[in-house]
Structure 1
Amino acid sequence: METKLLEKFYKNSPTAYSCQKAVFDDKGIPLQYIILDYNPAYKEMMGLHNNNVINQKLDLPTDWEEFNIKQCIIDTVIKEEQTQFTIYHQQKWLRIILFPIDGDIFGCIYFDITKEYLQDKDIEGFLKVNIDMLTITNTDGYFLRVNQASERVLGYKPEELEGKSVKSIVHEDDIPKTLEVLREINEQKNIFSFINRVRCKNGHYRYLEWHNVVNGNFIYSSIRDITDRRQLEKELFEKNENLAQLTEELTEMNRFLKTLAITDDLTGLYNRHYLDIKVEEEMRRADQANEPLSMIIIDLDFFKKVNDQWGHPVGDKVLKETAGLLKGIIRKSDILVRLGGEEFLIVLPNTKISDACIIAERIRITIEENHYPIAGHLTASLGVANKLPLETYNNWYERTDNALYKAKNSKRNCVVHSTSTLLV
């Protein structure tokens, strides 16, 4: 019963089997073999069709020499060891397993591995021709296959990386990130790309950009060296930072120069240049809004005596302190300017002549009551004028200056306002 079952198994098996007897020369070298039996699967695999080769003495295939078929037969028959080799036969790649049976009789099991072989060759060809570094790793982070580009990119030959952990060549600072990527891949999360630093064979590190496709327990990666790009990005970033800093410095310098251009060095008040820019704007606004606009010119009385008696440093201190007194009286909307020497000018938006005279009188009293260090008490003369409709700045300024002239030529330490008459 067992023999019949085994015979049925042998003949009906989809796996190809054959039984051979080796023929040796007087030196124990196999020269030929005799096929004693084979099953239908073998006949189909070898394409025998109606040919019957049982009990025929056949020469060992010469095109199998590269697989050392003679040594395989010796190992199987004499050493009684199972052995195997792979051959190409009639457009098929076959893996043949040889096993001893009895004396010089041995059996063979045949597997058609054409599909796997061609697939492997396709992968190998793809790995060879691609300019990027390509790898196949498992989800534990070990290289399974690496193409030749690894030598160009990192200096390692493929066999030096295959079987090695990815972590073993990653920069220590980038290991946590790399392990996190592997963890997320294990959790079936698609991590299409990431960047880390990898140690070359020469000990230097390169920035690599990994693009990944996950298939089951395998990660297929296309890896590109972006070290030069990162260096350019770093240089560009540094240049942009420097440019931003330079721009900020230039902006600050321009702000300083602009301030310098419109500021009086001694008192810190606005100067004539600022007045020329701002006064036309205030006059235009006043005309459009039909609002009053007034001007006060202040001149310190007998200021020359201060310089002659105490020297210019004391005179400068007087001017600075006077500027401080004036700033303490005017509004934020008013424009306070040092015209030069001991003269100051104030433009008062939305201020009638009567209100301007009140402010002028307050300034006069404040200066008179102030005690200047060293110089003591001083007085000031003030001229006031309101701008007439459509009046030019020069005419308005001249009327105010004439009012000041009258104040200085009368008794000084007083306020004189201009008559509302255009000068011709």
Structure 2
Amino acid sequence: MNQVNERVMISLCPDPVIGVDGEGIVQIFNPAAEKLLGYSAEEVIGSLSITSMYPDLKSAQRVKRLLYSDLHGAFGSVEGYEASLITAAGKTVPVRLSAALVDEEKGTSIGFFHDLTERFNLEQQLHKLSITDELTGLYNQRHFYKVLARELNRAKRYKHDLSLICFDLDGFKQVNDQMGHLEGDRILKTVGKLLHDTLRLSDVGVRYGGDEFMIILPDTGIDDAVKTAERLRILFNKQSLSSPGRDNALECSVSMSLGVTETNGTEKPDQVVKRADLAMYQAKSSGGNQSVLVKQHMGDVVSMASL
């Protein structure tokens, strides 16, 4: 095959193709590479080093080392190596690289880069779906325990405060029974939006199951956690059409019973959850629409009057 035909095939290749000389200076840069990376062939061929297209020098050096080894394919080749390239605009693009030495003595090589952006986006979407409650947009129970275990370790290691709020909705069953699940879903969505709008970025809101919710509050002592619980309760009562005392035609009233506890990170996740759950049931059995706290290593339960 002559050089003209080779150039035509490279130019028609749907994947970016970049060839470099022994110094790493770009000598081949096809239209697909122009489209992906935002450079024109004229501005890179013969002048730009391939290293400037990687996130850092070490990343470029690693690819070169792989070419001269059999760690990711036979000697003189790299097969299906996942890396990242940096576009002219500074955007990071995930790629799968297959490359080969064209001339070992001169060090010239050619690489084919397959854009993995679509695959990565799909993987991220699937991951988000796997850890998120579809109705409320909050995290689900499975993700909750992963985050709680991580935050417990962090609290123990750095001696930071960590608090947990557990709450459920008073009167929610009556809503579903008397007004239907669509109205119940609307209330759950209201809770999800309330948590999204109110919590800090570092806090983690979770739909634990049914009408029960959890909130992980890193770097937060119990006094501040109680303030957060009360703020949520009051805001919910203001925003919800079914709040107690609201003048409306709804047949049921819904409020929050919240349990709050703290930990120094030395406990197992289930121990902290059980204590927060106990406080929540204490709030509910005391009439609901209030917050109750339980302190770690203390048997007393401290009730807070509804505000």
1:309-338 deviation per Cα after TM superposition (whole angstroms, max 9, x unaligned): 221111111100111122222111111111
Distance 2:150 2:273 in 1: 15
Cα distance in 2 for residues equivalent to 1:232 and 1:358: 67
The aligned counterpart of 1:397 is 273
Instruction: Show the counterpart of 1:263.
Output: 132
Query: How many pairs align?
Result: 199
Task: Answer yes or no: is the 8 Å Cα contact 1:384–1:417 preserved in 2.
Answer: yes
Alpha-carbon distance in structure 2 between the residues aligned to 1:259 and 1:349:
21
Quick check: 1:282 aligned with 2:151?
yes
* Cα distance, 1:420 vs structure 2: 2.1
Q: Looking at CA atoms only, which structure, 1 or 2, has the larger radius of gyration?
A: 1
Partner of 1:299: 168
1:230 is matched with which residue?
7
Pair 1:422–1:246, CA change in 2 (3 A) = farther
Q: Runs of 4 or more off by more than 6 Å in structure 1?
A: 242-245
CA distance in 1, matches of 2:288, 2:297: 23
CA-CA distance at 1:422 after TM superposition: 7.6
Question: After the TM superposition, which residues 17-416 of structure 1 pair with which residues of structure 2 at under 5 Å, given as runs?
Answer: 225-235=2-12, 237-240=13-16, 247-372=116-241, 375=250, 377-416=253-292
Residue range with higher mean Cα deviation, 317-326 or 373-382: 373-382
Query: How far is 1:354 from its partner?
Result: 1.3
Q: Considering Cα pairs closer than 8 Å and 6+ residues apart, tell me whether 1 or 2 has the greater RCO.
A: 2
Report the TM-score, using the length of structure 1 for normalisation: 0.44
Identity %: 36
1:420 to 279, 285, 296: 296
Gaps of 5+ in 2: 17-31, 37-95, 97-112, 243-248, 300-307
1:323-372, CA deviations, whole angstroms, 9 ceiling, x for partnerless residues?
11222221111111111211111111111111111111111122223232
Instruction: Give the aligned residue type for 2:10.
Output: E
1:259-292 alpha-carbon deviations (Å, 9 max, x no partner): 1111111111111122122222211111111111
CA contact (8 A) 1:297 1:383 kept: yes
Q: TM-score, structure 2 length as denominator?
A: 0.59
Residue 340 to residue 245, structure 1, CA distance change in 2 (3 Å): farther
Deviations 1:6-41 (CA, angstroms, capped at 9, x unpaired):
xxxxxxxxxxxxxxxxxxxxxxxxxxxxxxxxxxxx
Task: Give structure 1 stretches of 5+ with no counterpart.
Answer: 1-223
Which residue of the partner structure matches residue 90 of structure 1? none
Q: Are 1:367 and 1:378, in contact at CA under 8 Å, matched by a contact in 2?
A: no
Maintained 8 Å contact 1:382/1:415: yes
Q: Secondary structure at the match of 1:324?
A: helix
* 1:292–1:351 CA contact under 8 A, matched in 2: yes
State the Cα RMSD in Å. Answer: 2.4
